Amino acid sequence: MSPTETVPAVGLTDVSMAFGGKTVLSAVTLDIAPGSVVALLGANGAGKSTLIKILSGVHTDHGGEVRVDGSPVTLNSPLAARQLGIQTVHQRIGEGIVPGLTVAENLVFEELAQQRGNPFLRGRRTLARAREIQAALGLDWSDAVLKRDVTELGISDRQLLILARALATRPRLLVLDEPTSALSAAEAQRLFALVERMRADGIAVLYVSHRLGEIDALADRLVVLRDGLLTEDQARPFDWDAALRAMLAQAQEATTARPVREGERGETALSLRGVRLFDGRAPLDLDLRTGEVTGVVGLLGAGKTELARGLFGAEPFTEGTVELDGKPYAPRRPADAIRAGVHLVPEDRHADALVPGWSVARNVSLPFLKSLSRAGVVNSSREDALGRDTIAALGVVARDEHSTVEELSGGNQQKVVVGRWLAETPRVLILDEPFRGVDIGARRDIGRRARALSAEGAAVLVLSADVDEVLEIADRVVVLAAGEIHLDAYGEDAERDRVIQTISASV
């Protein structure tokens, strides 16, 4: 390094990590200079969370080297990371607060964690220090608020509390993971002003966000992760088409994508009119047709999951109308959707689909126990047969239908979730990020089954942030951004470049 070059506040060299034999980060090299704001972009599953957890001291068994102020360090715990000046404000706000303590005690919790042998600061000293910390962020909570249990704060105030606490230590690097996801416009502007102040004070910031407008306004530099690889590194002014291409689409020769086609239009199975996904955004109209796979592509926050959950009755639409086969369709809960033949493969299989400790057969049969039961007793032979059929139809690699889902790889777990919703032929099948965390073989198996189902007369809706995934499976491509449709096209009108340019223009 020449005498004129600045020593990075934090540097990564060839940082790699794998889980269960699957590589999630591959030789990532990145330097973050003091007083710079580096934006980290990547679709779901790109490796962003893993990289953040390495910097935070959560994941310790990684390859490569981490340096702080030019010196190699070992981040073997979150406390070690904080002591070395790396503070992280995580997207999951609940992980950063301590229920049962007051707002003031949470604000000074970093100091609490380092007290040895003495009681924690009490009474007036706690309040005085809490006032100092909140003042740095321009918060104006009264003493009455500071004395409340922290769980009485709203989500946005909890996030501001965590940020104020992190800044009280004057970190070398502050990692902000989707920091505005729970903030109002006014609160976000306060955050942006604070980021500018941190830049001026020489604090390095790693800013992780799907909101490209924020990145364009704040960042000095952007880097892109895709499938664990650093695929783009830009300084201002940013080339957003190139950045989105690096994030969302593989090179043409690297994909097995089949050109989308405009086949014979089937009949309309599901029709949406005037459905509003987000307050303040225009309502949308959308028809899903039989014999056709409709692919909806959009970044995080585009409204894909809101659309899927609304159609499944998990979060009913508050505005607009939906018809199923020409009749009013307004499910208030998932059971209503299932009875109507509308099935959903949810975005998060672990949180919303799989039951730990249960076998493949039991997981597959869960939504259909009534049809498998007599006098309230499940027919185990029919349940087992359903499990075997799923294993055979989707090529699930499992010992047998009695294998627990924990015994399966991530791709095979996803096949079980998809197979569950094919156990009874649906009228409409909704797949929300169905290929997340699965290898290309599993992706193709799931895609083939979805296409076969559409050929049998079902309407299939696939929602994904990955352009290639959508182009590989869909007859028709819809681009969704902030709850609004920006493209609805078939065939050559839905080629890769146009899809990416539409996403770029809509952010």
Domain map (residue ranges) of the chain: 1-85+171-248, 96-168, 266-355+427-506
Pick the CATH number of 1-85+171-248 from 3.40.50.300, 2.30.110.10, 1.10.10.10, 3.90.1150.10: 3.40.50.300
In a 3-state reduction of DSSP, which class is residue 24? strand
DSSP one-letter code for 102: B
Closest CA to 286 of 322, 317, 246, 260: 322
pLDDT at 229: 92
Cβ within 8 Å of residue 291, ≥6 positions away: 263, 264, 266, 454, 455, 457, 459
CA distance 286 to 275: 9
Given the DSSP bridges, would you call strands 63-68 and 71-73 parallel, antiparallel or unpaired? antiparallel
pLDDT at 253: 38
Q: CA dihedral in degrees (303, 306, 312, 316; nearest 10)?
A: -130
Do 1-85+171-248 and 266-355+427-506 fold alike per CATH? Answer: yes
Distances (CA, A) of 180 to 7, 92, 185, 186, 191: 30, 12, 9, 11, 8
CA distance 434 to 453: 15
Asked if 297 and 496 count as a contact pair (C-beta separation under 8 A), the reply is: no
pLDDT at 116: 47
pLDDT at 506: 77
pLDDT at 259: 45
pLDDT at 114: 61
DSSP string, 389-410: HHHHHHT---S-TTSBGGGS-H
pLDDT at 81: 93
Distance of CA 61 to the CA centre of its chain: 24
Angle at 267 between CA 265 and CA 272, to 5 degrees: 105
Query: What single-letter amino acid sits at 210?
Result: H
CA distance 490 to 9: 48
Q: SS3 for 464-481, per residue?
A: ECCHHHHHHHCCEEEEEE
pLDDT at 301: 80
Find where tokens 């995080």 sit. 300
CA distance 303 to 211: 13
pLDDT along the chain (507 residues), means of 10: 71 89 88 95 81 92 94 92 90 77 87 54 76 81 89 81 84 89 72 87 90 86 92 92 79 41 73 95 95 89 92 94 96 94 85 85 84 82 89 83 83 82 85 74 77 89 87 91 93 84 81
pLDDT at 437: 60
Given the DSSP bridges, would you call strands 204-208 and 37-41 parallel, antiparallel or unpaired? parallel
CA distance 447 to 451: 6
CA atoms within 13 A on the CB side of 269: 24
Pair of tokens at residue 406: 């924990």
Asked if 205 and 38 count as a contact pair (C-beta separation under 8 A), the reply is: yes
Residue 234 is inside which H or E element, if any?
strand 229-235
CA distance 172 to 9: 6
Distances (CA, A) of 273 to 88, 165, 234, 332: 42, 46, 41, 18
CA distance 233 to 224: 7
Pair of tokens at residue 375: 């006098």
Asked if 30 and 223 count as a contact pair (C-beta separation under 8 A), the reply is: yes
pLDDT at 265: 67
Q: Which residues pair with 89 in a beta bridge?
A: 176
pLDDT at 20: 67
Pick the CATH number of 266-355+427-506 from 3.40.50.300, 1.10.3720.10, 3.40.1260.10, 3.30.70.20: 3.40.50.300
Cβ within 8 Å of residue 3, ≥6 positions away: none
pLDDT at 232: 93
pLDDT at 308: 94
Find where tokens 């994941």 sit. 59
Asked if 204 and 10 count as a contact pair (C-beta separation under 8 A), the reply is: yes
pLDDT at 354: 83
Q: Which long-range contacts (CB under 8 A, 24 or more apart) does 193-199 make?
A: 194/137, 194/138, 194/163, 194/167, 195/37, 198/167, 198/174, 199/35, 199/36, 199/37
CA distance 284 to 304: 12
